[in-house]
Amino acid sequence: MARKPNKSGTPTRKPATKPASGRRRRSKGFLLSIGLAGAALLIGGSLGYFYGGQGTPKQAALSSGISRPAAAPVPPAALALPQQQQAPLVPPAPVTPPEQQASLPPPDQTVPGLPPTPPPVLAGDPAWRRNAQPAPIAEGKPMIAIVIDDMGIDKKRSARAMAITAPITFAFLPYASLVAKQAADAKASGHELLIHIPMEPSVASVDPGPNALMTGLTPDLLAQRLAWNLGQFDGVVGVNNHMGSKFTASATAMRPVLEELKRRGMLFLDSRTSSDTVGFRMAGELGLAALQRDVFLDNTDSHDEVAKRLAETEQVARRQGTAIAIGHPRDATLDILELWIADVQARGFVLVPLTALLKARNGQPQG
């Protein structure tokens, strides 16, 4: 069959048509895909609702990274509370840090090992009280007072004795050169001072030193010598005798001396250079503050003797609660004394100035 030519003269061909069955198959497949996707969405949404809206673990992990705006909170209804009156504000009490609480002593209690606060010195107090050094707290332990006689003559050994860091009482000879300066240095180092007054010994050939108190002196001359001895340095708590085995055995000679000491407010330490001494007994009768020596440390100048006498001093202190030992500025005495002082407190003793024993031995003295 001949084709109808077009305007250009070329015969026109009809486009080939595809079979209708192919189009129908694609349409059905497309509709089926849409249906399956819708069903999957419905099933997934239902499962998500059933398990709390989280879906599968993977969906939950993905959804956790997506920030969604939070719903605005609905304010709760206001509660009608009863009106209460507010108490006034009280500032809190200051709190002491724990480390300070641990370091502070309890109220009204002294710290062990430290000397208590000394009572105020009054103008009317006796000299022994005004010039006393503070005493360590004994707390019932036996107390020992060490007195070193003959201070001031041998300046090298006197200086060595004064360097001991313990409460020692030093008895300076009033006729020693530069005695006032030496005594002031000793007091500044915390030691108590005695005037070591020379007195007449029993042996006439032994010289006690210049301006010694003698039994044969007239009352005026005795008073002059006593005043000279008492005026060589200041800051003293009292007096003890240098030699004096004859003088201290005479009640007639001792009475004016002890009466003058009481008038000046000084104490008297009886060195007991004689078993016949009346000094301590008469001082008590006159109401004078008085003590007496228990042990001589160095009648024999040797290390062994000093060590034995210190052991004896400890025995006396344990037996009667106090002990007074007298020594001298000698090498053997100072050698052993320095060693003994280093550990005597560890054995339960307390070293004290001489005045600390006044109340312990005699009760409160009168003058």
Predicted confidence (pLDDT) per residue in 163-199, tens digit: 999 999 999 999 999 999 999 999 999 999 999 999 9
65 within a domain of the structure (yes/no): no
Say how many residues make up the chain. Answer: 367
Pairing label, strands 238-243, 267-270: parallel
In a domain, 51, yes or no: no
Domain span holding position 263: 127-362
Please provide residue 35's backbone torsions phi and psi, each rounded to the nearest 5 degrees: -65, -45
Q: What CATH number is associated with residue 252?
A: 3.20.20.370
State how far the Cα of 139 lies from the Cα of 350, in Å rounded to an integer: 9
- Judged against a pLDDT cut of 60, whether residue 153 lies above it is answered with yes
Q: How many domains does the chain fold into?
A: 1
118 in a domain, yes or no?
no
> Would you say residue 70 lies in a domain?
no
Predicted TM-score (pTM) of this structure: 0.68
CA nearest neighbour of 282 among 243, 253, 314, 245: 253
Encode burial over 165-195: b for 16+ CB neighbours within 10 A, e otherwise: ebbbbbbbbbbbeebeebbeebbeeebbbbb
pLDDT digit string (tens) for 246-279? 999 999 999 999 999 999 999 999 999 999 999 9
Q: How far apart are CA 13 and CA 3, in angstroms?
A: 8
Q: Would residue 240 count as lying in a domain?
A: yes
Return the residue matching tokens 């000394």: 118
In a domain, residue 52? The reply is no
DSSP per-residue codes, 175-206: TSTTHHHHHHHHHHTT-EEEEEEEE--SSTTS
Q: Which carries the bigger pLDDT value, residue 61 or residue 218?
A: 218
Domain contains 178? yes
Q: What is the mean predicted confidence (pLDDT) over 67-96?
A: 44
pLDDT of 81 above 80: no
Q: Rounded to an integer, what distance in angstroms lies between the CA atom of residue 198 and that of residue 150? A: 10
- Confidence band for 229, pLDDT divided at 50, 70 and 90: very high
3-state secondary structure of 85: coil
In a domain, 147, yes or no: yes
